Structure 1
Amino acid sequence: MEATYALVLTTCGDSASAELIATTLIEKRLAACVQIFPISSFYEWEGAVQHAQELMLFCKIKSIDYADVEAAIQAVHSYAIPEIVQVAIEKGAQSYLSWIASVTR
């Protein structure tokens, strides 16, 4: 059984990109809340280990909207291959989960 709610995680290289994604998801009612955190990322890209200061976005969504959330992020993201992953919310405060439902489509 699929969880009703989820977090979608994505990373950005700058605050303007992160804010564009967050605003887009909220305005389209695809996310109830988007939180932005600074992170330090290490990864392989084009055959070399890379290190970058990025921003991680935690997007609270209804699981059923994942495909639309992914498409909305892809449409405005600046990365060639952005990280976009869904993590199921298995449990949470019912009042908070109800709020997610009430402010998303």
Structure 2
Amino acid sequence: MVHKGNCHTQAVCAVATHLPARIHVILKEDRAYELRDLEGRPISKKDAKALIQREYTVPEEIRQRTRGHKKRRRRKEGYIRSQIRGLVTALQASRFA
């Protein structure tokens, strides 16, 4: 997910499907939540932050690659909206002339 550049919504949905089951087990067994590494060994908060930074942060090149499409699309949509507004204004002006 990190290397494909999937959108934020997809990432949230992927986490949301697994999280309720994990919460249920922790509450059912009445134990504290433990941070663990990829092999399942308990780790500290500092190590967990480093793991997230190393494994689960989207690289800047992928961010830029996916970010550019949104800007172009927004620019195109803005252009289309401005053209439609111009046509509507012209039609209204011709109706009342």
- The structure in which a higher percent of residues are strand is 1
Which one has more relative contact order, counting CA pairs under 8 Å at least 6 apart?
A: 1
- TM normalised by structure 1 equals 0.21
| TM norm structure 2 | 0.23
